[in-house]
Amino acid sequence: MDFALAIPSGNWLVSSEKPRARGLGARCSVFVPSDNNSTSTDVGLKERPWKIADARLVLKDGSVWKAKSFGATGTQIGEVVFNTSLTGYQEILTDPSYAGQFVLMTNPHIGNTGVNLDDEESRKCFLAGMVIRSLSISTSNWRCAETLGSYLVKRNIMGIYDVDTRAITRRLREDGSLIGVLSTEQSKSDEELLEMSRSWDIVGVDLISGVTCDSPYEWVDKTGDDWDFNIEGRHGETYHVVAYDFGIKQNILRRLASVGCRITVVPSNWPASETLRMKPDGILFSNGPGDPSAVPYAVETVKTLLGKVPIFGICMGHQLLGQALGGKTFKMKFGHHGGNHPVRNLRNGRVEISSQNHNYAVDPASLPDGIEVTHINLNDGTCAGLAFPAKNIMSLQYHPEASPGPHDSDAVFCEFVDMMKRVKENA
């Protein structure tokens, strides 16, 4: 490979004439080795030694965004949402709540720390794809096991970079979340991809059935001592919790186990009668993807279990509880996705920095009497937590296990244990 710098000929002269602009031009030549069909004089340019745009993101509004691909190739459809987290892209990739969505990271530099074996939140990647501004060309972290690009290739997840993520984010904030099609297939025209984006909608789609477990299993792992900040607060394994897997994150299970819970995880369609036959001390309704109105079977299960044992709902679980209690949910303009959302606990006035990932919210005005709004999102005033003391129910519309604060919301797991303890003692 020969790199030749072309410098304009001629000298710089002092003259009364108006100077003409001169510049430096760079020419990169890649010499093709001689073979039987060429001579030593057959020299030419082969291909650029840098990656060129080979992918497109076509949004439902008709805009086409050219980019460079990394990870898997092909064509994929999904809802485009933006996430404002500065770190934690591996947890985002493996969060089942992102099923059916392209996640655009507003932080421009992604991939700096690579990926490792410890930060997985589920058994696989469920999101449709990743959209970033700049893909790091190197990694620097003592736990790094491989690069982000190779990680996505192995898991068949598409990604694009060198795209104007700020412009797309502004568009999503103004127009709301948009359906998009991501493609590396040059045989597909922009018009075809646009038609695909306009022929699919995420509203009303049951995404939970695609991320839940197949059969019940026991969870025993706790938060490791190297990472657990509250070892002295651990209880003995006294309380049996049945956790409904609507797309549960593993760190929720670790935190429950660390505060003294024996956990049985069950599929999203697990009958309420079978749950009660297990005689649990409490029930967890987990986080999960999509529209709560698209899973009426889950709402009916929640209704059946109300008041039977203490209940804790997180994210999707919070929304299902809202519907089961007689309230309504609604789709937000662009949702909450990030690790920097301020939430006020109305009971004690404390403000927590929370991790959030949801496109739907509970309408507090639709809830019946006796249900208390315990938390609100300070960015837009939406409901971020509920409690129904008469039936021993509590819920949050964010992830207390994610700890971006770093531990602002973790105490809620102890509150759930205290509720189970109180009910058990008074039984």
318 classed as catalytic: no
Q: From CA 253, how far away is CA 249, in angstroms rounded?
A: 7
At residue 411, φ and ψ (nearest 5 deg) are: -60, -20
Q: How far does CA 400 lie from the centroid of its chain?
A: 15
φ, ψ at 112 (rounded to 5°): -60, -35
30 token code pair: 């890649």
Provide the H-helix boundaries in 240-337.
Answer: 250-258, 272-277, 296-305, 316-324
Rounded to whole angstroms, the Cα distance separating 337 from 189 reads 31
Give the phi and the psi of residue 168 in degrees, each rounded to 5: -65, -40
Q: How far apart are CA 286 and CA 303, in angstroms?
A: 15
Let me know: does 385 contact 347? Beta carbons within 8 Å.
no
DSSP strands (E only) in 54-157? 55-59, 64-71, 75-83, 101-105, 109-110, 129-131, 134-135
Which of 120, 121, 352, 401 is catalytic? The answer is 401
Catalytic hit among 125, 213, 315, 383: 315
Task: Say if CB 53 and CB 134 are below 8 A apart.
Answer: no
Residue 399 bears catalytic tag: yes
Q: How many CB atoms lie within 10 A of CB 285?
A: 30
Helix axes of 316-324 and 296-305: crossing angle, nearest 10 degrees: 70
Radius of gyration of the chain measured on its C-alpha atoms: 26
Catalytic annotation on 315? yes
C-alpha–C-alpha distance, residues 329 and 298, integer Å: 14
**Burial classification of residue 16, based on how many CB atoms lie within 10 Å of its CB (0-12 exposed, 13-18 middle, 19 or more buried):** exposed
Dihedral over alpha carbons 354, 343, 381, 329 (to 10 degrees): 60
Instruction: Pick the closest to residue 166 from 124, 211, 134 (CA basis).
Output: 134
Q: Is the CB of residue 88 less than 8 Å from the CB of residue 114?
A: no
Catalytic center residues: 315, 399, 401
